[in-house]
Amino acid sequence: MPVFPTERSVRTTPEGLLWEPSERWVRGVKGDVTVVDSRHPVLVWEPGLPVPCYAFPRAEVRTDLLRPAAHPEPGSHTGSQIFYDLRTDGQQVENAAWTFPAADLADHIAFEWFRRWGSGLDHWYEEEEEIFVHPRDPHKRVDAMPSSRHVRVEIGGTVVGDSHRPVLLFETGLPTRYYLPPEDVRLDLFEPTDHRTGCPYKGRARYWTWRGAGEVPRNIAWSYAEPLPAVAPVKGLVAFYNEAVDITVDGERLERPVTPFTSALKP
């Protein structure tokens, strides 16, 4: 039987991995098959990646569905030793899982998350809640707070949003996002797009693109029609990327921040 760590603290391996035991019940499903059913998962942070992944004790993984990868991807994960293809219900997912060389994690298998790198299982659950994109980081906090601040948003000198009733969303490691009621946004200057994203903390978002002149990134504004309960105050409100628009709060122009989204925000 594997020995499961119980101390709740972040640990470091010689390879530069950070890991921490979790007490959450985590399940991963492919089609109708439960591939992972774990009550002793471990969160692992790889160097240079802002979000964690899960690794699971072998005893809590359907290892009978895993085969050594036909086309392994060395270097795609920190010091990864063995990659596995997943075969179930006549389907094969290449490089769906891997192991870390760290001695602390020697008896664990990590999995790609659905839509994280374009491969993995279909659904992941923590307890009875489905989690999207990547596991939630227990050291990250997201707060949505109604405010009476005066927020003005401009694109190329044109005011596209002006509100005294924003909701401010504070998310660890990211700039404050300002969500405005749609009545306070010039949505007539934008057109909706088919772009959609998912966030494990907020839910699924839809987007709008600027119709005016200038070099403005596509999908510059977004909204959550049905946000997760933790950020319910942003429901139906509209936010803009601080990295690519000009935002003034209570008369003070904010500097455009540099974030992990900056490089992707191209006209």
What pLDDT score was predicted for residue 233? 98
Asked if the domains 11-130 and 142-264 are classified in one and the same CATH topology, the answer is yes
| Averaged pLDDT for residues 221-227 | 97
Supply the CATH classification number for the domain 142-264. Answer: 2.170.150.40
The phi and psi torsions of 229 (rounded to 5 degrees) equal -55, -35
How open is the CA angle 80-83-88, to the nearest 5 degrees? 150
What pLDDT score was predicted for residue 214? 87
pLDDT single digits (tens) 16-46 = 899 999 999 999 999 999 999 999 999 999 9
pLDDT single digits (tens) 165-192 = 999 999 998 999 999 999 999 999 999 9
pLDDT, the chain, mean: 91
| Residue 202 scores a pLDDT above 70 | yes
CATH topology of domain 11-130: 2.170.150
Say what percent of the chain tops pLDDT 90: 71
The domain segmentation of the chain, as residue ranges, is: 11-130, 142-264
DSSP string, 101-162: --GGGTTEEEEPPTTTSS-S-SEEEETTEE--SSPPPTT--EEEEE----EEEEETTEEEEE
- How far is the C-alpha of 35 from the C-alpha of 62, rounded, in Å? 5
- How far is the C-alpha of 247 from the C-alpha of 177, rounded, in Å? 10
- How far is the C-alpha of 266 from the C-alpha of 173, rounded, in Å? 21
pLDDT single digits (tens) 231-260 = 999 999 999 999 999 999 999 999 999 988
- How far is the C-alpha of 188 from the C-alpha of 219, rounded, in Å? 15
